[in-house]
Amino acid sequence: MSVGVFPQFVFGYHGCDRDSVGIPVLTGEKTLKLSRNYYDWLGEGIYFWENAPYRAMEWARSCQKNPKQTAGRIKNPFVLGAIIELGNCLNLTDLKQMDVLKEAFNIIEVSFKQKNWPLPKNDETKRALDCMVINTAVDMNKKEGYQVFDSVRGAYIEGEPVYPGAFIQEKTHIQVCVRNINCIRGYFYPSEFISK
């Protein structure tokens, strides 16, 4: 099922290590690599916080303190900004697109029942089921002859309530997973982090 092309651009922020990733990507010596963990909640791709540079920095600092959070070590937390064209986006903030996920889940559920396997599970930090559903939806779309998904975009509800009784959590954010690296139109160093 084709769900629509999004011509708009968004600013994405990627928390990383300054010396092994950030500066080499800014200078063109390296490119960001697709994450292919079984638990990546939006499936495989390069992850960015949409319009949230401080959240990206917080994540990088958290990974510095807890190296098991990420595959690469973060010694010097850094935020890499990117201009991203969403292209053909599986936008999980749009109700219409939920049918794509339901269809993908049904395929997985039937397959696992036939093999008598338990379905993967999600927990607080590892989203194995979500990852499998997203990757299946992307593959299904391609096999049915629709335009390949360039990106996946979703709202991630996270953190403690901002105040007692709130339904607004302090770390909630929009995350963009870029599957087609050509959708990244350029990188920049966010002015928020330039020393004054």
pLDDT tens per residue, range 49-96: 999 999 999 999 999 999 888 777 899 999 999 999 999 999 999 988
CB 176 within 8 A of CB 153: yes
**Which H or E run includes 112?**
helix 98-114
Report the pLDDT value the prediction gives residue 196, as an integer from 0 to 100. 46
CA distance 17 to 76: 5
Report the pLDDT value the prediction gives residue 96, as an integer from 0 to 100. 85
Lookup: tokens for 183: 């959708």
pLDDT tens per residue, range 107-163: 999 999 999 999 999 998 889 999 999 999 999 999 998 889 999 999 988 889 999
Report the pLDDT value the prediction gives residue 84, as an integer from 0 to 100. 97
pLDDT tens per residue, range 24-41: 999 999 999 999 999 999
Confidence band of 4 (pLDDT split at 50, 70, 90): low
Report the pLDDT value the prediction gives residue 69, as an integer from 0 to 100. 80
For the entire predicted model, the pTM comes to: 0.90
Q: Is the pLDDT of residue 1 over 60?
A: no
CB 139 within 8 A of CB 49: no
Burial of residue 167, with CB atoms counted within 10 A of its CB: 0-12 exposed, 13-18 middle, 19 or more buried: exposed
In degrees rounded to 5, what are phi and psi of residue 39? -110, 5
